[in-house]
Amino acid sequence: MINLESKELREFILLKPLSPNIDATACSEFKGRVLDLINQGHNFFLLNLSMVEFVDSSGLGTLISILKTLKLKNGDIVLCELNNLVQNLFNLTRMNLVFTICPNEKEGLDSLDKIKKGIGASWNTILGL
């Protein structure tokens, strides 16, 4: 069972797993909890991984799946506070080029702000606003 803290911060959802592993044991419950939030209408997430010590390919696949779901809804998920071991997994798989990864929550929220405004701007351009 994964211990996952979630709260609204600005207009985003901050997710913070308090369990040390996002792996094959934890990933389906983790995904279910995030999908529940997406189904409630939330499309922008900041995932704080400071308490996470281990992510395997199942956990990584879950994060990719969530990212795909959000991108289809013009949303996004930004990651922050990865320790160097978890960052190493993202580097090995080159998922560091796919996800926006920030050093801390403040920069993560600022990044989400920019992403959201960027999407808004592109829609405004499309709509001629």
Applying CB under 8 A, the residues found at the interface with other proteins are 21, 23-25, 54, 56-58, 60-62, 64-65, 67-68, 71, 84-85, 88-89, 92-95, 97-98
Q: Which CB, 10 or 123, lies closer to other proteins? A: 123
Q: Which CB, 25 or 50, lies closer to other proteins? A: 25
Q: Which CB, 7 or 68, lies closer to other proteins? A: 68
> Smallest distance from the beta carbon of 46 to other proteins, in angstroms?
19
> Smallest distance from the beta carbon of 71 to other proteins, in angstroms?
5
SS3 content of the chain, % helix, strand, coil (to 5): 50, 20, 25
Residue 55: what residue type?
V
Q: Which CB, 56 or 113, lies closer to other proteins? A: 56
Q: Say if CB 76 and CB 100 are below 8 A apart.
A: yes
Burial (CB count within 10 angstroms: exposed 0-12, middle 13-18, buried 19+), residue 96:
middle
> Smallest distance from the beta carbon of 58 to other proteins, in angstroms?
7
> Smallest distance from the beta carbon of 83 to other proteins, in angstroms?
10
For 45-64, the three-class secondary structure string (H helix, E strand, C coil) is EEEECCCCCEECHHHHHHHH
Helix (H) or strand (E) holding 14: strand 12-17
